Chains A and B, each alone.
Chain A
Amino acid sequence: MSEPILEARGLSYDYPGGIAALSGLDLTVARGRRLAILGPNGAGKTTLLLHLNGTLRPKAGEVRLDGAAAGYTRAALRAWRAAVGLVLQEADDQLFSASVRQDISFGPLNLGLSEEEARARVSEAIAAMRLSHVVERPTHMLSFGQKKRVAIAGIVAMRPSVIVLDEPTAGLDPSGERHLLYALADLHAAGTTLVFSTHDIDFAWAWADDVALFQEGKVVRQGTAEEILLDAALLKPLGLAPPLIAEVARRLPGYAPGAPLPRDRAALLARLNGEEAR
């Protein structure tokens, strides 16, 4: 595993009223990888993500950024948020301007960039999130998936090294999801570290390099997607089962234990077709 870019050590946090949300949580985000935080809805995944950019301050424990403990002073938070971008689940919570360009320009201008540089960042983010065909439309005339990509573009324009996404595919239709994942794949290929929360094990299998299993305020286990998602005994207490695509591929004739398994539908179908051709 490459060096960690972001870590949480012994993180504890209580909701107002004293209900524990996180209790001694450890998490490691490796540079340049895609990490899925997998857990049921309402388990506190969002609370964890809000700690990763300093929105919430833990009762105990610390978040480490590039090996150093992150601080909560105004200046430290500014540097932290420039390095770690956060995309909320609901795009409408993030878009405050009716104009796509204006909204995306907000982050770069807050970084203190000149208008000219901000303009270049906006164009870059629009291209990266494949939005050039909708920039002339006001945000309230965009589809749910397009709004989501505008919200992400607002973060991308700040060029953070880590982007944290809360349930990125929730509520998206298949085409919206495809567009989003293509754009995220581009970002990942360009070196951005991605962290996302999800309750969908098939999505985690298709998309994550690493997986952290989240339950009752703790990361119960973290490892590569293969280590975590193929371990039926580990998943069972959480009411989960290994991803369907992996299960099907493992039962195909000619499968050698330990051989790489297909991650998505297209790879599984290709393997099935290969079997038939033989």
Chain B
Amino acid sequence: MHLIDRIAHTSRWSRRPTTEKLLLCLGGLAVCLAGPAPFSGVLAFAAACALALAAARLPARAFFGVLALPLGFLAASLPMLMISVGFAPGVTVSWRPDQAPVAAALFARAAGATAWLALLILTTPAHAMIPQLRRIGVPAFLVEIMLLTYRLIFVFAETAAAGYHAQAARLGHAGWRRAVHSLGELAAALFARAMTRARRMETGLAARGFEGDLPVLPEDDAPAAAARLALIAAGLLLLLACGFAAERLIHV
């Protein structure tokens, strides 16, 4: 969480117009899902990696680190797709190597889609992305709650880390039983602290005229250039076309 956030704020693309990044990354994701599998998935994955490393200059370790967890889960579940379970007559379990292309197609699509999402979250700070939700009609109070939650995650992560270290310093995490016990106590303490903190924050906000809403100025987002948006759309179409071309070439 901290790592993702830090990179989102410091990457070369973090000050680029959010609209452009959204079009690019959600478009890339759409190509993964709409194009012929596994070709589009593989191409889209490669394109996302190339953009992340060469254009946005994201640190490779961090980018692949973010991908590793979801892709690891995905890879671990693939063998299940090649097992067939029948129920009539009686239960039969069989190994179906002929299902390999289906599994490969699924993996390629999911990997491509994950890579595009990783590119988006590693280049766009949350407080730039969340207000965009308002434009697509998400109610203002939900957007306000999301922004507040985003801020408070860091406040509580700090408190939780301090509490954890204080417990560990008194051997509260030596041994499994004690660790579970300590974590429970920490959670209870954090809950109480969250309540006092919420009350104090209400005082602080009331001093600035809080009456239930959290109005803020929209972020100074660089305006999206029509030419660049067109270029992104063209690139996405090209990517999609490449997927279809690859499918035809390889099947001929």
Say yes or no: A95-B203 contact (C-beta < 8 A), given A78-B209, A101-B217, A106-B214: no
A85 beta carbon closer than 8 Å to chain B:
yes
Q: Which residues of A contact B211 (CB under 8 A)?
A: 74, 110
The listed residue with most B CB atoms (<10 A of its CB), out of A94, A102, A137, A158, is: A102
Q: Are A115 and B207 in contact (CB under 8 A)?
A: no
Chain A residues within an 8 Å CB radius of B5: 138, 140
**Interface flag for A92 (CB, 8 Å):** yes
A74 closest partner in B (C-beta): B211
Across the interface, do B9 and A103 meet the contact criterion of CB distance under 8 Å? no
Chain B interface, DSSP helix/strand/loop, else mixed: helix
Q: Point out the residues of chain A lying under 8 angstroms from B220, CB to CB.
A: 101
Q: Which residues of A contact B201 (CB under 8 A)?
A: 93-94, 96
Q: How far is the CB of B159 from chain A (nearest CB, A)?
A: 9
In the complex, A95→B209 CA distance in Å? 14
Given A78-B209, A140-B155: A106 and B147 interface contact (C-beta under 8 Å): no
Output the least CB separation between A64 and chain B (Å).
19
Q: What's the nearest-Cβ distance from chain B to residue A84, in Å?
A: 9
Q: Is residue B154 contacting chain A, with contact meaning CB distance below 8 A?
A: yes
Provide a sorted-by-A list of 14 A–B residue pairs whose CB atoms are within 8 angstroms: A74-B211, A85-B208, A88-B203, A93-B200, A94-B205, A96-B201, A96-B214, A97-B127, A98-B126, A109-B216, A136-B15, A139-B151, A140-B155, A141-B6
Q: Which residues of A does B touch, CB under 8 Å?
A: 50, 53, 55, 74, 78, 81-82, 85-88, 90, 92-99, 101-103, 105-107, 109-111, 115, 118-119, 122, 136-141, 151, 154-155, 158
Apart from A115-B217, A154-B208, 17 more pairs, CB < 8 Å: A55-B203, A81-B209, A85-B207, A85-B208, A88-B207, A92-B197, A93-B203, A96-B151, A98-B126, A99-B219, A101-B217, A102-B127, A107-B208, A110-B208, A122-B217, A138-B9, A139-B151
